[in-house]
Amino acid sequence: MLNGGPNVADGAFQLPVGNSQGDAPRNMARGFGAQQLNLSLRRDIHLYDRLYLQVRGDVFNVPNSPVFGYIVPNLSDQLFGQPTLSLNQSYGQSESLYQPGSPRSLQWMFRVRW
């Protein structure tokens, strides 16, 4: 935990007294790094004369490792400083299948060209 837990009296982060502003600079506590490994393989197969079959496979998030996203910013919350969503859930309502931090996904493509 970032602040030592809910029962610590003198944690690293404390609410300012009265209506005064806090003195912590913006982006003082940063989130987790985001890394993801994607892989794409393609093969052209010669079938006849000028006829080719192209096969392609894409794998997103090959190691299927979690990428943490949203960290609870409210000091009064018991989960303060803990990640509660993965990175792809932190983006909102957009399609999260191909976003960073999503679960492993695969897609295949077959194309005939002449």
- Is there a contact between 31 and 68 (Cβ–Cβ < 8 Å)? yes
pLDDT of residue 5: 65
Residue 1 CA to residue 78 CA, distance in Å, equals 10
Cβ 52 vs Cβ 45: under 8 Å: yes
Provide the whole-model pTM.
0.60
Mean pLDDT of the chain: 82
Would you give the DSSP letter of residue 98? T
For residue 36, pLDDT beyond 60: yes
Spatial separation of the C-alpha atoms in residues 94 and 85, rounded to whole Å:
15
